[in-house]
Structure 1
Amino acid sequence: MPPASPLPAGDPHRVITGPDGVVEVIVSLSEYQQLKAEREELRRLREQESRSLIAAQFHEGMAQYAADPASFRTLTREDLQREDLFDRP
């Protein structure tokens, strides 16, 4: 196995190399599914950590919601008198 490959020698991986090093590593479907599941779990944990950090900042009063200027609209008197005003985007 080429030294540029991060995979351990002896594992059943086929490594395709190019002039700049490893181009592609071919693994079994079961290993690919395992790696994909681990990557998804890592992404989920990072998102959970980010949400926890933001929640802690809100609790401590360090973070605040920011209004989106694009979401504002000017309402006329006629708009305010309509019953379906808040049903429209």
Structure 2
Amino acid sequence: MPPASPLPAGDPHRVITGPDGVVEVIVSLSEYQQLKAEREELRRLRAAQRRTAAAAQIREGMAQFAADPAAFRTLTREELQRDDVFDRP
């Protein structure tokens, strides 16, 4: 394992470097938890932004939906003649 080398003074991090550069950065648990929470918030905001954009496209009539090939099934003539054919998965 390559030796850890500290970042410039004032940074509480330690950096583990390898022949190709930085391999890991060691941070305190509280900073890790803060970074994890910020990453989750960013993920949540991006998902909300995608939903908002899709809703706007639907309202404007511009949305296009791609069919899921796994959702298709082939029905026989007998199945199509049954009353409950579309109630089954």
The alignment's TM-score, normalised by the length of structure 2, stands at: 0.72
User: Do 1:79 and 1:85's aligned partners in 2 also have CA atoms closer than 8 Å?
Assistant: no
The aligned residue for residue 3 of structure 2 is none
Post-superposition CA distance 1:12-65 (Å, at most 9, x none): 111111222211111111111110000010011111111111111111111122
The aligned residue for residue 37 of structure 1 is 37
Aligned length: 83
Q: Distance in 1 between matches of 2:58 and 2:85?
A: 34
1:68 partner letter = D
Q: Which consecutive unaligned segments of at least 5 residues does structure 1 have?
A: 3-7
The aligned residue for residue 86 of structure 1 is 87
Q: Which consecutive unaligned segments of at least 5 residues does structure 2 have?
A: 1-5
Tell me which moved more, 65-74 or 55-64. Answer: 65-74
Identity of aligned residues (%): 75
User: Do 2:79 and 2:85's aligned partners in 1 also have CA atoms closer than 8 Å?
Assistant: no
Change (3 A) 1:84 1:62: closer
Tell me which moved more, 61-70 or 25-34. Answer: 61-70
The aligned residue for residue 56 of structure 2 is 56
